[in-house]
Amino acid sequence: MPLIFSNAVFLSALAGLAIPVVIHLLLKRKTERVRFSTIRFFVAQDLQASSRRKLRNLLLLTLRLLILALLVLAFARPFLPTGSASPGARRPKQMVLVLDESLSLQAVDDGAPRWTRAVQAAKEALKRLQPGDRAALVSCEGKARVVSGLAPAEAVLGQLETRKPSWGAADLAEGLREAVRVLAAGDPRASSSVVVVSDFQRSGAGALAAVPVPDSIDIQLRPVGDLASPNLAVSELSQANDAGAPTGAVVLHHGDREIPGLKTEFRVDGKLRSETPVSLKPGSSTHVALSLSGLRPGWHELEFRIHPADALSGDDSRFETVFVADPIPVLLVEGRPRGRSFEAQTFFAAAALDPAFGTTNAGLGGFELRTVTPAEIAAALAPVAGKRPPEVVLLPGLRSVPTEARRAITGFAGAGGGVLAFVGDDVTANGFNADYAGLLPVALRAVESAPPESPWRLGEFDPAAPGFTPFRPANSGNLALPQFLRRFTVVPSEKSVVSARFEDGVPLLVGGEVGRGRVLLVNSSADTSWNDWPKHKTFVPWLRHAVQFLARKPDAGWVRSGTTLEAGREELLDLGAGSAQASLRLVGPGGRTVTAATDARGRLDPGSLSPGNWSVRTAEGRELTRFSVNAASSEADLVALRPDEFQAQLRREPAVMTADVGAALLGGSPGRQEFWRPLLLAVLALLVLETLLSNRSRT
């Protein structure tokens, strides 16, 4: 293929090469003959130096001629025609299609689905490309992904047919970043453009200024939604927590008209639990209180749904899973069974552990209570098929305990059960020490009383000790308020642990271990005969946590929320190391089943699951946990940016030099392989060489 010169007229300047040669010849001096006094101080070595000098001078002349010749050639702009393109051919195009696949693309504006419009706009952009042009597809759903790298438009059209809107949120900035990266790796000679097909939700275009977009890239926008479409959404569904938030759902209204009497549904395990109509003013939100009472132990699935007539239906429901733990069976031993209920020794303890004790809702408070007399202890602790045995025995200050009952309690504690014991008026030191020798961690000495005007109060206590963990946060209860009027002087055993003392240092709570079980002695009565602690609100959390500690279930809340994931967001479900490298089945709404595997740390990637409640099961069908997937709540607000607002937020930067050195050196007009840049580079290199050589000659 012949070399063509754009400016062939410059080649005539090559005749100028004769000028340095002529100058060289003209200035070349004839070697003079000089008579000198003596030549004895000149040696033959100098003759060799003269020969080298001549050679260097010749080389310098050649270098300078070469520099001139290369400069002339560079100005003549030689090039080779490449491919089929002729010198006047157009530049090829490379286009990246950034397709918004977020939840908001499921919206319907005046009967026109946004997604249909988006696909149509994308196809039209692709069809404008000509043979030789290339296109790529970047999807924006959660994390932006390159669906198809630069390829002929037909290939991207095929990929487009398989796309559909997701349930996640879009990040158009990330999509742009990916598009710029794809173009940077493409052909530097091609004209580059990015076509963004989106509804341009404001929430999805927040970080545009963080993405540098070279000026050389043409950004074209294809809006497929209205600037503002009315939409209602359920943004939150949560159950009661320790912070005091009640169970409920939040409904958002992104519209300009008041919505009266919006129908809401709350379903538990698919069964309608409540229907609450709500009214919403424009741009407002409302909280709908929900009740979870009466849930039996085990997993439950919650769903809250609204039925509005709005643009987007994908955000009209919200899902949640809860786990109701089995209650802790507690055996209350009552020494005064025949009295009125509030005169019973265990009255306050029973009320604190299960306020619904004795009613049909009993046991839903996390503790399953059973009251027996001392004579019934042994039978109550004996294992019965099909019935859960007690995990904690609460002993108020009993006058006496039958021998078989003492043995049963000791055996119960040794086998891992918990014992919570109080003292009181019915307790004598000798009898107590004899009955519970080897079981309780103290020996009683004598009863002592405080003057009514100066009762004892709780002094020092260990915040990490059983029962006191709820009081760690500030202002979580004043334990110094309860007054104590009577107590025993006690001698703790060697292995016991005193977790709380009166102000004067006498132990109030003494713990210990018997076999595999735990015991805890309270040096006061379980009722209000020796103190008024049961009447203070600190008594309830203390007692409940103390019983949980004794049952070795310290963190067992009566109801616990399952994991909630947001669709489209990269989150892992942690199933624990026990489920590492396991093949699992995910069973979702309508019985839909998806298989998944955990990694080496027992984490599961749920992938792109549709909103709903999902159950994680082993291959054998054993349920491990449940979790819920909800649509991205940030997609609910359908207010969009205008194209000019979007363009204004872009961070435009001057185009940077391509990393393709070959293309940068030999690139140029389409269809040409230009050589003027390498020629100039060669001139620069020769100039450096000439400088070095001429300086060396002068030394």
Partner 1 sequence: MPSTLALDSRLLAAVEDLPLLANLIVEGFLDGLHRSPFLGYSTEFSAYRAYTQGDNLRHIDWKVWARTDELYVKQFEDDTNLRCQIYLDTSASMDFGGAETNKFLYGRLLAAALSQLMVRQRDAPGLVLFGSESRLGVPAQAVRHQPVEILTLLARTRATGGTRLGSDLMQWVQSFTRRGMAVIISDFFAADEEVFEFLRQLRAQRQEILVLHLLAPEEEDLPLDGEFILEDSESGEEILVHADDARAGYRRRLEEFVGHIREECLRMEADYVRLRTDQPLDVALTAYLERRLAL
Of 35-43, 84-92, 458-466, 505-513, the window that binds partner 1 (rule: CB under 8 A) is 35-43
What residues from 344 to 383 belong to the interface with partner 1 (CB under 8 A)? none
Which among 580, 576, 577, 609 is positioned nearest to 595, based on CA atoms?
609
Residues 6+ apart with CB under 8 A from 549: 418, 466, 467, 518, 520
Instruction: Tell me whether residue 47 or residue 385 sits nearer to partner 1 (CB atom).
Output: 47
Question: How far, in Å, CA of 496 to CA of 66, rounded?
Answer: 100
Of 36-44, 276-284, 440-448, 608-616, the window that binds partner 1 (rule: CB under 8 A) is 36-44
Work out which of 9, 31, 464, 644 binds partner 1, going by CB under 8 A: 31
Question: How far, in Å, CA of 684 to CA of 271, rounded?
Answer: 83
Of 26-34, 378-386, 441-449, 648-656, the window that binds partner 1 (rule: CB under 8 A) is 26-34
Question: How far, in Å, CA of 186 to CA of 206, rounded?
Answer: 27
Question: How far, in Å, CA of 302 to CA of 628, rounded?
Answer: 9
Work out which of 25, 33, 88, 451 binds partner 1, going by CB under 8 A: 33
What residues from 158 to 187 belong to the interface with partner 1 (CB under 8 A)? none
Tell me if 595 contacts partner 1 by CB under 8 A.
Answer: no
Of 49-57, 71-79, 130-138, 361-369, the window that binds partner 1 (rule: CB under 8 A) is 49-57
Of 9-17, 37-45, 420-428, 584-592, the window that binds partner 1 (rule: CB under 8 A) is 37-45
Work out which of 1, 39, 385, 661 binds partner 1, going by CB under 8 A: 39
Cα first-last separation, the chain: 47
- Structural contact between residues 264 and 288, judged by C-beta atoms closer than 8 angstroms: yes
Work out which of 15, 22, 37, 662 binds partner 1, going by CB under 8 A: 37
- Structural contact between residues 570 and 551, judged by C-beta atoms closer than 8 angstroms: no
Q: The tokens 């010849």 sit on which residue?
A: 25
Instruction: Tell me whether residue 41 or residue 453 sits nearer to partner 1 (CB atom).
Output: 41
CB of 40 to partner 1, least distance (A): 7
Of 14-22, 44-52, 68-76, 140-148, the window that binds partner 1 (rule: CB under 8 A) is 44-52
Phi, psi at 606, each rounded to 5°: -70, -15
Tell me if 41 contacts partner 1 by CB under 8 A.
Answer: yes
Question: How far, in Å, CA of 310 to CA of 689, rounded?
Answer: 76
CB of 673 to partner 1, least distance (A): 47
Tell me if 384 contacts partner 1 by CB under 8 A.
Answer: no
Tell me if 35 contacts partner 1 by CB under 8 A.
Answer: yes
Question: How far, in Å, CA of 625 to CA of 296, rounded?
Answer: 16
- Structural contact between residues 251 and 297, judged by C-beta atoms closer than 8 angstroms: no
CB of 691 to partner 1, least distance (A): 19
Work out which of 32, 161, 256, 453 binds partner 1, going by CB under 8 A: 32
Q: How far is CA 207 from CA 97, 210, 570, 647, in A?
A: 19, 6, 19, 13
Instruction: Tell me whether residue 40 or residue 622 sits nearer to partner 1 (CB atom).
Output: 40
> What is the size of the binding site for partner 1 (CB under 8 A)?
20
Phi, psi at 28, each rounded to 5°: -70, 120
Instruction: Tell me whether residue 49 or residue 600 sits nearer to partner 1 (CB atom).
Output: 49
Instruction: Tell me whether residue 61 or residue 624 sits nearer to partner 1 (CB atom).
Output: 61
- Structural contact between residues 546 and 521, judged by C-beta atoms closer than 8 angstroms: no
Q: How far is CA 683 from CA 9, 65, 70, 657, in A?
A: 20, 11, 6, 22
Instruction: Tell me whether residue 49 or residue 661 sits nearer to partner 1 (CB atom).
Output: 49
Question: How far, in Å, CA of 193 to CA of 122, rounded?
Answer: 13
How many other β-carbons are positioned within 10 Å of the β-carbon of residue 601?
13
Instruction: Tell me whether residue 29 or residue 387 sits nearer to partner 1 (CB atom).
Output: 29
Q: Exposed, middle or buried: residue 274 (CB in 10 Å: 0-12, 13-18, 19+)? A: middle
Tell me if 36 contacts partner 1 by CB under 8 A.
Answer: yes
Tell me if 34 contacts partner 1 by CB under 8 A.
Answer: yes
CB of 51 to partner 1, least distance (A): 9
CB of 684 to partner 1, least distance (A): 29
Tell me if 430 contacts partner 1 by CB under 8 A.
Answer: no
Q: The tokens 């054998």 sit on which residue?
A: 620
What residues from 52 to 91 belong to the interface with partner 1 (CB under 8 A)? 53
CB of 663 to partner 1, least distance (A): 49
Instruction: Tell me whether residue 34 or residue 384 sits nearer to partner 1 (CB atom).
Output: 34
- Structural contact between residues 524 and 510, judged by C-beta atoms closer than 8 angstroms: no
CB of 70 to partner 1, least distance (A): 30
Instruction: Tell me whether residue 41 or residue 591 sits nearer to partner 1 (CB atom).
Output: 41
Of 47-55, 389-397, 438-446, 508-516, the window that binds partner 1 (rule: CB under 8 A) is 47-55
Tell me if 695 contacts partner 1 by CB under 8 A.
Answer: no
Residues 437-473, buried b or exposed e (16+ Cβ, 10 A)?
Answer: eebbbbbbeebeebeeeebbbbeebeeebbbbbbbee
Residues 663-696, buried b or exposed e (16+ Cβ, 10 A)?
Answer: eeebbbebbbbbbbeebeebbeebeeebeeeeee
Tell me if 38 contacts partner 1 by CB under 8 A.
Answer: yes
Work out which of 25, 26, 47, 474 binds partner 1, going by CB under 8 A: 47
Tell me if 342 contacts partner 1 by CB under 8 A.
Answer: no
CB of 27 to partner 1, least distance (A): 11
Residue ranges of alpha helices (H) inside 421-531 are 429-435
CB of 25 to partner 1, least distance (A): 15
Tell me if 403 contacts partner 1 by CB under 8 A.
Answer: no
Question: How far, in Å, CA of 260 to CA of 287, rounded?
Answer: 15
Question: How far, in Å, CA of 292 to CA of 351, rounded?
Answer: 21
- Four-CA torsion 541, 544, 546, 549, nearest 10 degrees: -120
Instruction: Tell me whether residue 47 or residue 657 sits nearer to partner 1 (CB atom).
Output: 47
Work out which of 40, 338, 387, 472 binds partner 1, going by CB under 8 A: 40
Tell me if 27 contacts partner 1 by CB under 8 A.
Answer: no
Tell me if 49 contacts partner 1 by CB under 8 A.
Answer: yes
Instruction: Report strand pairing: 212-214 vs 651-653.
Output: parallel
CB of 36 to partner 1, least distance (A): 4
Residues that bind partner 1 in the complex, under the rule CB under 8 A: 29, 31-43, 45-47, 49-50, 53
